[in-house]
A and B are shown apart, each in its own frame.
Chain A
Amino acid sequence: MNDFERRLTDLLHTGTPQPERVITASELSELAQDEHAPRGHRSTRWGVPLMAAAAVLVAVTVPVYVIGHDNNSPAPASPSLRPPTSAPTSSPSSTASNTPGSVATCLTSQLSLSSGPSGAAAGSVYTTFFFTNTAGAPCSIRGFPGVSLLNDAGNIVGQPATREGSEGSSVRLAPGQRAQFTLRLSTATQTGCDTPRPSSGIQVYPPEQTVPLRIPFTTASCSVSVQSLTQAH
């Protein structure tokens, strides 16, 4: 890769917007059923009418799934025959730990923190950070990390990072896999940052955890905001 290609890669990684919503497995489950319905309404776009139609379909078919669904049995051969994940929670078998494919929330002790590429645009510096699953089992992570900057003495500098954008969807981390989040630091006068405060470390609470991780991170900024975790590419 030459320099231009590297810069293009950085730019695309930093600047490609995050979707406000993404298609979820439960929506696809309903669409897949719709696709299989013999004379059902086939649609290539999802939308309110389709969701309503799918909801009716789910309501009609759910009792069959509940009766036929055994928690200990392996997944049905055809994915289209799986019970919709949006099935009513009155189903006796539906508890969080039994949701197909669900794994435990990543604990701080299972994660390591590292910093990735940094970029700047219009008065802000963007830095990507990674949580790596260092445990031997998969875990899942979702939402916003709790981020503060630290001075040389290890004390918190300024206000914790504010949240930016939506919470995002759950990221499953197999052993060795990474999730990432982007931190935006206001650094220049054009963003109202006249006296940036220096910091030399960063403290990050993984979502839902009470123990933080700390690594060196030298910068100077006025305010910090953080985006939700996504799968690392």
Chain B
Amino acid sequence: MLSIEDFVDQNSRMLHRSAWLLTGNWTSAEDLVQTALLQSWLHWEAIRSDAPEFYVRRVLVNTFLSGQRRSWTRESPVDVMPDRAAVDELPATELRHVIWTALSGLPPKQRAAVVLRYFNDLSETQTARVLDCSVGTVKSQTSRALRKLRLVPELQSLMEKVGHE
């Protein structure tokens, strides 16, 4: 039987990365992961036998979405790509910058759907389970998100380079 310690060690890194995609900064990401893992820790006996990774993702996403409703914690998205002369020196920085610029333009729920579907590789059904909504809602949220992401030119040009050489 999986122990909570192993569960934490196995999932912490991916949860941090998912939370970064939602929030765009490590401080908020750590807050989300801590909240989600602590809840899992406290309720481990109840959740361990029934796909605890769904539980932890659900707490993470719900905490993110409920935090978003408070205006004083809302992030300020970058609406204009700043000029970056030295991008070649820092490919990783460039990648994360473009990714966050694109994701920050999405409403929170669409962003959450994109992260679950395309970073966590969940199916539409699994995403619906985490977001506690219908598969139809997942489909409409992701298709709206994809429509917006297609209009981000920096994302498009980066995609040309990544993955299809």
Contacts and interface: CB of A to CB of B under 8 A. Distances in A.
Nearest to B90: A122
Interface residues of A, number: 58
Question: Which secondary structure dominates chain A's binding surface?
Answer: mixed
A45 B42 contact: no
B163 A119 contact: yes
A73 B44 CA distance: 19
Contact of A12 (B21, B87, B94): B21
Contact of A25 (B5, B119, B159): B5
B162 A10 contact: yes
B95 A121 contact: yes
Question: Which secondary structure dominates chain B's binding surface?
Answer: helix
B92 interface: yes
Contacts of B120: 233
A44 B87 CA distance: 37
Interface in A130-186: 168-172
Interface of A: 4-20, 22-25, 28-29, 31-32, 35, 44-46, 75, 77-80, 82, 85, 100-101, 117-126, 168-172, 190-191, 230-231, 233
Given A12-B115, A44-B34, A120-B165, 8 more contacts: A9-B121, A12-B21, A16-B99, A23-B30, A23-B37, A168-B13, A172-B10, A231-B14
